[in-house]
């Protein structure tokens, strides 16, 4: 029985890691691909409101503001994304992936939206901890955003 529980945990962990690989790849594409962004928003609609799921939900919401046509929808969805990203960072301030997401949104958001206050703090954390990132996709995304 013990081995069955262990096998289940291992399988779940592998599937969960693969799920985030897809999410990370889609995050890179979402800025230029409205369809992918919308699919990812739907994907996170029914996920937990905590941790990395909440951070990705917030990041995709903020990116969706770029695709929305209606100015009110742009602002509303961006604010939701901002709120979710900040909440995710507050829940786990040392999670590098959450900080990366917030940094990437703040770095790319227009100044008039007033969402730039954590750029230096997040950039320092990313630079200090990038050596500890094991995921190849995530590590490359962080390197790319820090270079740009």
Q: What is the pLDDT of residue 73?
A: 95
pTM: 0.86
Q: What is the pLDDT of residue 18?
A: 52
Q: What is the pLDDT of residue 6?
A: 35
- DSSP, collapsed to helix, strand or coil, labels residue 114 as coil
Q: Measured between alpha carbons, how far is 126 from 133 in angstroms, rounded to an integer? A: 10
pLDDT (tens digit, 9 = 90+) per residue, 7-54? 333 333 333 445 899 999 999 999 999 999 999 999 998 877 789 999
pLDDT (tens digit, 9 = 90+) per residue, 89-106? 999 999 999 999 999 999
> 120 burial class (0-12, 13-18, 19+ CB within 10 angstroms)?
exposed
Q: Measured between alpha carbons, how far is 90 from 65 in angstroms, rounded to an integer? A: 23
Residues in the chain: 148
Q: Select from 146, 86, 147, 145 the least CA-distant residue to 114.
A: 86
DSSP H or E stretch at residue 71: helix 71-91
């Amino acid at each position: 029985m013990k081995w069955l529980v262990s096998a289940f945990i291992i399988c779940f962990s592998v599937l969960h890691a693969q799920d985030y690989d897809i999410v990370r790849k889609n995050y890179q594409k979402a800025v230029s691909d409205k369809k992918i962004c919308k699919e990812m928003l739907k994907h996170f609609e029914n996920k937990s409101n905590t941790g990395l799921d909440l951070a990705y939900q917030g990041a995709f919401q903020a990116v969706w503001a770029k695709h929305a046509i209606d100015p009110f929808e742009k602002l509303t969805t961006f604010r939701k994304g901002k709120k979710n990203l900040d909440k995710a960072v507050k829940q786990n301030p040392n999670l590098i992936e959450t900080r990366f997401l917030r940094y990437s949104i703040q770095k790319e958001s227009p100044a008039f939206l007033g969402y730039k206050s954590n750029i230096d703090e997040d950039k320092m954390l990313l630079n200090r901890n990038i050596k500890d990132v094991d995921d190849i996709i995530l590590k490359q995304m962080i390197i790319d955003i820090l270079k740009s």
